[in-house]
Chains A and B, each alone.
Chain A
């Protein structure tokens, strides 16, 4: 008799777990995640809700770029199941979550097309409010650049029963304010569909390059706490190297971590994709700004061209 090898599932199957999942610097998906969380914080602050009285976001997502990063980087994502299921799973969550939990759902435009009837259900379900985010990259680009089914969110969303709101994903502060407002409207059983237009910077940057438009980059002034600290570290390294081990590696990095952007984390403008989210990020010392054209000006390339007269 031939002895079969004793096949054991090795732990190394899990090496992928160690791989940091990372969206591109400037990815619009991540910016929306930041704004949702920030919006919830601001809502609680505005209503002076503390401790147990605070509201919480429960975030039911679909499969795709934005939500993967949302999970790994922001820890905002609570559920990801099947393609297109986020919106309807969210309706189920509403049935059984607490009154202090606000369910936000997030799908790509592919997921929207995949399960438009789920959206319709969310719009028609009189029992609850709804905040459904659609990450609109105008295409199902990540999976190979297929030609998508044309979507007119304004007409379709309205026909279903949503108020359709378009946002520029890179207006992070405005969007945080909007989500703060939407949290209240959700509790009032209102139905909103937030369409985040132009979330894929990689794709849009290709297009801007093709038409000869060079996007700008972030700028940090000398006031930046991290840059100041970097100088201090360099001084200690050359003058008192024995003390270096006692120093933290960085001082602030609020913007880099908040926006999950490698360019900011490395203080390297050459890595900047030019999304423009830095324009609105609330740096505690006002040290962050942006120079030149960016998708914060517009996510529509012809509009950008007109603005910058290329």
Chain B
């Protein structure tokens, strides 16, 4: 099933529907809940898929190898952070 976060829309700052907003918030809330309960060891099932889809969107514009995309969910001082790091090739920008 396709992941319905429309990243391009997000980047362009288009308004999300109320349902999309709910879904986006839930994805993170559920991920955090699972991480808390499992002592951070468990990764929610959609994270891998989310990563793959983001990579495929990025590749529409820039050719990047798999390792160039780092994706992580962390807790830092009580703050939950979903971090996405894309290293662009030097000649791209």
B is a partner of A: no
A residues with a Cβ closer than 8 A to B are: none
